[in-house]
Amino acid sequence: MNKAHLLRQGFLSAPILRIVGAHHALGAKLIERNRFDGIWASGLEISTAHAVPDANILTMTDYLHAAVSINEATSLPVICDCDTGYGNSSNVSHMTKKYEAAGIAAIVIEDKLFPKINSFIPGRQDLATIDEFKGKIAAAKSAQRSADFMVLARVEALIAGWGMDEALKRARAYCEAGADGIVIHSKASTPDEVFAFAGHWQSKIPLVLIPTTYYGVTAEEFSKKGFKMVIYANHGLRASIRAMDETFRSIHDSGSTAAVEPSIATMREVFEIQGMNELKKEEEKFSGGSDIQAVIPAAADHHRQTGFGEILKDRPLCMLEIGGKTLLDRQADSLRSFGIREIFVVGGYSADRIKSEGVKILRNPRYADTGSAYSLMLAGDHFKKECLVAYSDILFNRLIVDQLLKSPYDVTVVIDRAYQTLPFRDKKLDLVIAED
């Protein structure tokens, strides 16, 4: 079901739709998280986010860009505040095509003259003629492709002080021109004006209101008066301005973030709303990513070992090149082929010479008098999941890694039995007791 159809069905089935304003994708996600019915891509919020007045200073492209970002972040229908339509009827036609193509469910255009100024700014509010605005509505309806896409007409007669009769006359004319809904706007401190308007409204075309100044009325009360949608147009923006201002002031005055930490979102919450968990799941699904980490102990000094003196006098054994590629790079490539992305190397002797793209280097400062077990203990603080250990002085077949990853046991050790038959090795044999 597309979002425009979802919105139309909501008008038919819900007692009243509750819509909240946003100016970016983050706001849209928070609105959906709190179970509202849709998003209002608010012109006031988007303008304020750009730090410019709500007076047609931004272009249609600016508003559309914000609306697309909002729409892509949510499964809810998005209703866009399109001011006066960004020009004449031709502009409205172009705008309608762009917004519908972007997946927007509905647009709202208001009957002011272009360029408009925000309805709550004191002073003169000039309105378009009824015929001019009817032409804009007709142009929008003619331009849309889907029967589900909605064009709502916002009546500003009460805002401009032109009275109830004018507001009703305009609303009826806009319905005749094809408007799918009427947004009746008022800046009164009580709902009396909009309730009186609803009392005179006889059409089946749904009524919408924006109770910015008469905020004490509940959605249920609006529904009883005949309204089908309430838009809480700018409360997210206003809340964030206050919260950020207080947070920044506290940090500046105290010299630290200690006082604000209990009241701000944790990094875990940030990653959650980003969708980081979903990203990791997709990486695992589509690129073979794995939750398994790997550690390669590579701290030992092998250069005094028989036969290695010259080639290892200035580098660790893991950096020995075989066929133009180091042992470490060969191991890392094998591990990554199984989706193991997080690889740690514990260096000691000539640790600064250990280089391998994407590998994290840890250091064992006591490499001269400790062994691999100590290096593994140093790496232990970094492990949050299953771990595969591969010693730095070996080459292994990919089948070995495959068998290890499929092992059902808590601990699995792979032993090279040929070790016992080697003709030369100046190291005592390590004995391991394990199931055959």
Residue whose pair of structure tokens reads 């980081």 in the numeric block: 276
Residue 281 has pLDDT above 70, yes or no: no
User: 367-418: per-residue pLDDT in tens?
Assistant: 888 888 888 888 877 777 788 888 888 888 888 888 888 888 888 888 877 6
Residue 289 has pLDDT above 60, yes or no: no
Q: In this predicted structure, what is the pLDDT of residue 342?
A: 86
Choice among 37, 54, 148, 329 that is catalytic: 54
Residues of the chain with CATH 3.90.550.10: 286-411
- Give the whole-angstrom CA distance, residue 176 versus residue 135: 11
Q: How far is CA 242 from CA 12, 32, 65, 246, 297, in A?
A: 37, 22, 26, 6, 52
Which has the minimum average pLDDT: 79-88, 121-130, 164-173, 350-359?
Answer: 121-130
* Residues 211 and 182 sit within 8 Å (Cβ to Cβ): no
- Give the whole-angstrom CA distance, residue 305 versus residue 312: 9
**Pairing relation of β-strands 321-322 and 293-298?**
unpaired
Q: Is residue 54 annotated as part of the catalytic site, yes or no?
A: yes
Percent of the chain with pLDDT over 70: 89
Q: Which residues contact 147 (CB under 8 A, 6 or more apart)?
A: none
Residue whose pair of structure tokens reads 């206050």 in the numeric block: 242
Residue 237 has pLDDT above 90, yes or no: yes
CATH architecture of 3-233: Alpha-Beta Barrel (3.20)
- Give the whole-angstrom CA distance, residue 403 versus residue 232: 58
Which has the minimum average pLDDT: 137-146, 230-239, 296-305, 419-428?
Answer: 419-428
What is the DSSP annotation of 295-346?
EEEE----TTSTT-TTTTTTS-GGG-EETTEEHHHHHHHHHHTTT--EEEEE
Residues of the chain with CATH 3.20.20.60: 3-233
The partner residues of 106 in beta bridges, in order of sequence, read: 79, 150
Query: Which has more confidence, 125 or 258?
Result: 258
pLDDT (mean) for 204-220: 97
* Residues 272 and 323 sit within 8 Å (Cβ to Cβ): no
Q: In this predicted structure, what is the pLDDT of residue 96?
A: 98
Using alpha carbons, select from 293, 295, 298, 294 the residue that is nearest to residue 364. 298
DSSP element (H, E) containing 17: strand 17-22
Predicted structure pTM score: 0.68
Q: Does domain 286-411 have CATH number 3.90.550.10?
A: yes
Q: Where does the pLDDT of residue 204 fall: very low under 50, low under 70, confident under 90, or very high at 90 and above?
A: very high
User: What is residue 58's three-state secondary structure?
Assistant: coil
